Structure 1
Amino acid sequence: MAATDRVAELRRPLIDIIKRLPPGCAISLSGGLDTSIIAEANLPCPTPELAAQEPVSHAPITHAATPLDLVRDTSLLEFTVRTLGSFDPMEIRNSDAVARVLMECKKLGWENVATGDGTDELFAGYSFLHKLEPQALKNYLVRMAKIMRFSAVHMLEAIGLKVWQPHLDPKALEFALTCTKRLSTGG
């Protein structure tokens, strides 16, 4: 099956999943492919954003930019550490940025927030995954599907908002686990 056929095969259920988001659902838009796909569904959603407007500049969305200066502003670090129960530097650094966007959602009165959680993990979006042999990659993805967790879930619950993770819907998850890695033979 051609790669374009596989993309079309995923697109249909993913659009259906995204269209089931509640009206007025915000998107925690990082500018990456995962959240841009959600915004590209042309839903009229407000979007607090971490990084980018360009990927979805033509979508009917309202941008509420959340500037990040993690060096100078540590006001949410205590909330992040307490909520996640972790002192892991990588998790705290990433989750602190997420907390800022989620607090902005709360401040602006949004009750539901969609994230791109799971896309890179399930569709091998991280560069270190590209080097794995096909079976090792498959084993990694199956394992991740069982154990992955995302900070947005715990932080949204802590501040009283509902998280929506379209890429983790059972239909999207099932599709992701059918994907394989094809080795290039050159030429």
Structure 2
Amino acid sequence: MVDRINVNCSVFEYRLLDVLSRYIQRIPCECIALSGGIDTTLIAVVAKLNGIELNGFYAYYKDGIPRDMPFIIHVSKKLNIPIKLFAMDLNYVKRVLNDVYRCIGGGEYNELCVELRNDVVFYTVLEAAKEHGCSCIYTGSGGDEVFAGYGFMLWLREEELEGYREKWTTMGRYPELEISKCLGVNVVAPYLSKEVLEEAMKIPAKCLRGSGFEGKRVLRNLLNGFGMELVGERAKTPAEAGAGTDSICITP
């Protein structure tokens, strides 16, 4: 068995990129839920490297401050991906709230206000993808859970970190996948695929944390290697801040 502690992190980066590339090449989608974050941007980069032309989709709250917007525009221009922007107003959010709640199932929520406002964004993007005739749409589902993107994960002992990662790969909350079933949209989540997960779970904590304990270092390094440092080195932004929905709290 290979001693992971003594293997250079670049080896894991190469292996991950290879398996991710092969998976995306096998399941080409013409659409992607772009957030300007690390997870979806790397998927977009790999897809473009494989000659896949993409259309991006992004939803935000028009009366909020969508922190992801500058990164979305940067990724769109840098990778030549046309982006469809959907501005949600309060009336729209109120109108679709019950549909979103029904899709997920009320019993699945732990923090109703926070989780529901994030799920409205997923709902809007996936519904738009369906209306635009996307045969399938890439999402970055699992990026934080698998590659230690959450702050508290960075301070866990290695065995604890691996325990969380293993648990979340099978029991994580991925509302976008539930919403996709409800809407009849084919979502492709590369980071949660069997082959990518098998390779990802071999990556040791040191290659995930990074020297500055910023998390997702293996993904950041891959992006940096493709000239995407602006995204590769961006700080973690909660989903609700990225879409500007952190200023609303409405429940059914």
User: Normalising by the residue count of structure 1, what TM-score does the alignment of the two structures yield?
Assistant: 0.88
Matched, 1:55 2:75: yes
Tell me the residue number matched to 1:37.
42
Q: Output the amino acid matched with 1:3.
A: C
Which residue of 124, 131, 150 maps to 1:126? 150
Instruction: Give the Cα separation in 1 of the matches to 2:168 and 2:141.
Output: 12
- Tell me: CA distance 1:16–1:5, structure 2 relative to 1, closer, same or farther (3 Å): same
Tell me the residue number matched to 1:18.
24
- Count, aligned residues: 185
**For residues 11-34 of structure 1, what are the alpha-carbon distances to aligned partners after superposition, in whole Å with 9 as ceiling and x for unaligned?**
01101111222353x101111111
Structural mapping, 1:1-187, within 5 Å: 1-24=7-30, 26-41=31-46, 42=48, 43-50=52-59, 51=68, 52-69=72-89, 73-86=93-106, 87=109, 88-182=112-206
Task: Please tell me whether the aligned partners of residues 46 and 63 of structure 1 are also in contact (alpha carbons under 8 angstroms).
Answer: yes
**For residues 119-156 of structure 1, what are the alpha-carbon distances to aligned partners after superposition, in whole Å with 9 as ceiling and x for unaligned?**
11001011111111111111111111221241112211
- In the TM superposition, residue 70 of structure 1 has moved relative to its aligned partner by 5.5
- Tell me: CA distance 1:70–1:12, structure 2 relative to 1, closer, same or farther (3 Å): farther
Q: Can you give the 5+ residue segments of structure 2 that lack an aligned partner in the other structure?
A: 1-6, 60-67, 213-252
Instruction: Give the Cα separation in 2 of the matches to 1:53 and 1:15.
Output: 24
**For residues 50-88 of structure 1, what are the alpha-carbon distances to aligned partners after superposition, in whole Å with 9 as ceiling and x for unaligned?**
441213422242211122446873222111101101252
The two structures, once aligned, show a CA RMSD in angstroms of 2.3
Q: Can you give the 5+ residue segments of structure 1 that lack an aligned partner in the other structure?
A: none
Instruction: Give the Cα separation in 2 of the matches to 1:103 and 1:184.
Output: 37
**For residues 68-119 of structure 1, what are the alpha-carbon distances to aligned partners after superposition, in whole Å with 9 as ceiling and x for unaligned?**
4468732221111011012522321211111111111122222311110011
User: Normalising by the residue count of structure 2, what TM-score does the alignment of the two structures yield?
Assistant: 0.67
Task: Please tell me whether the aligned partners of residues 40 and 56 of structure 1 are also in contact (alpha carbons under 8 angstroms).
Answer: no
Task: Please tell me whether the aligned partners of residues 95 and 151 of structure 1 are also in contact (alpha carbons under 8 angstroms).
Answer: yes
Instruction: Give the Cα separation in 2 of the matches to 1:137 and 1:23.
Output: 32
User: What percent of counterpart residues are identical?
Assistant: 26
Task: Please tell me whether the aligned partners of residues 138 and 187 of structure 2 are also in contact (alpha carbons under 8 angstroms).
Answer: yes
- Tell me: CA distance 1:11–1:184, structure 2 relative to 1, closer, same or farther (3 Å): closer
